[in-house]
Amino acid sequence: MKRVTIRVPATTANLGPGFDAFGCALSLYTDVTFEETDAGLEITGCDEEYTGPDNLAYVSYCAALATMSEELRGIKIHIEAQIPVCRGLGSSAALLVAGAMGANVLRGNKLSTQGLLNITNAMEGHPDNLAPAFYGGLTASMVDNGLPVCVNFPLHPDWEFLALVPDFDLPTTVARQALPTEYDRADAVYNIAHGALVLKALELGDEKLLRNAMQDRIHQPYRKKMIPDYDKIESLIRTTGAAFCLSGAGPTLLCITRNPGLEEKLARKLHDITEANWQMIPLHVEFEGARVISQE
Ligand code: HSE
């Protein structure tokens, strides 16, 4: 029976003002193995609640097979996830990407990466995590006539990322429900301008510009209320000179800097000002997107 393992990087979406558009792949991974069987579905390596047919890797696997007009046979799926679940680091996107790519590889690579992106974007509803998960690096995406169009942007090699991951989760559906459906023109202009300068600052390696540009009026002001101690943590990060944003829909907070040693600088202070337990995960940009790491 054929078997393939797909490795997908974590992703941080939005990067401040780039709501539903910007994303960056990071050095934390989820590996998903797909092994064809005669019949049935078996999912291992995750909590019991995710072992049914609504598992995102399986849903995406089935969608890709349907797009290729390929027959659905039995499948065993094994998940080894480093990416924390429901924390704003692209765990759902990683499963969708792995599922579509796994089906494609097992059935002869009939679909292009753009084709896989189209399938997964139809399920996720926005391409900002999916694009860097497929292509690696820093991406910006738009959806045109229902189809995602994604491009990679240059990124200075010296950036270091520090993810502050709390011990509570925040489902994306809840974090999206907290957002208004309409915005003032001034807020739209603010985000367009700040978004353009975030991309330039990331390219140039300009930390001061990034710190100033990485601000947002579309989602962070509404979501921070769901994250205890957000304002205190932001103030602490800003004293270090690092740029700061919510990672995706949260609750993970992201610091971006070119100065090594941020983790050590924050360690005790973070503990002193917060109630929740925040794990600090140092990360770097992953320039390679989802890939096959073994195949039989
Ligand atoms: N752009 C998305 C959001 C990312 O902020 O809701 C999370 O999936």
| pLDDT score at 156 | 96
State in Å: Cα 171 to ligand 1 middle: 10
- Integer Cα distance of 263 and 277 in angstroms: 15
State in Å: Cα 19 to ligand 1 middle: 7
- Integer Cα distance of 287 and 23 in angstroms: 12
State in Å: Cα 121 to ligand 1 middle: 12
State in Å: Cα 209 to ligand 1 middle: 24
| pLDDT score at 201 | 98
The position carrying tokens 């790519």 is 101
Residue nearest to atom 4 of ligand 1 (CA): 248
State in Å: Cα 96 to ligand 1 middle: 15
| pLDDT score at 268 | 83
Report the nearest atom of ligand 1 relative to the CA of 13.
4
Report the nearest atom of ligand 1 relative to the CA of 223.
5
Amino acid occupying residue 124: E
pTM of the model: 0.96
Residue of 92, 96, 128, 252 best suited for mutating to test ligand 1, as the one with most atoms within 8 Å of CB: 128
| pLDDT score at 276 | 85
Q: Measure Cα distances from 163 to 71, 243, 285 in Å.
A: 41, 12, 12
Structure tokens at 112: 């292009």
**Consecutive 10-residue averages of pLDDT for the chain (296 residues):** 96 98 98 96 95 97 98 97 96 98 98 98 97 98 97 96 96 96 98 98 98 98 96 95 97 96 91 90 97 96
| pLDDT score at 275 | 83
How do residues 265-275 score in pLDDT, each as one tens digit? 998 899 889 88
Query: 201 — phi, psi (to 5°)?
Result: -65, -40
- Integer Cα distance of 199 and 221 in angstroms: 21
Are 47 and 119 spatial neighbours (Cβ–Cβ below 8 Å)?
Answer: no
Structure tokens at 190: 């603010």
| pLDDT score at 241 | 95
The helix or strand, by DSSP H or E, that contains position 144, with its residue range, turns out to be strand 138-144
* Residue 3 β-bridge partners: 35
- Integer Cα distance of 251 and 84 in angstroms: 11
| pLDDT score at 267 | 87
| CA-closest candidate to residue 117, choices 130, 106, 99, 128 | 130
| pLDDT score at 229 | 93
| CA-closest candidate to residue 57, choices 71, 47, 43, 72 | 43
Pocket of ligand 1 (CB under 6 A): 13-14, 19-20, 126, 128-129, 172, 175-176, 219, 248-249
State in Å: Cα 238 to ligand 1 middle: 23
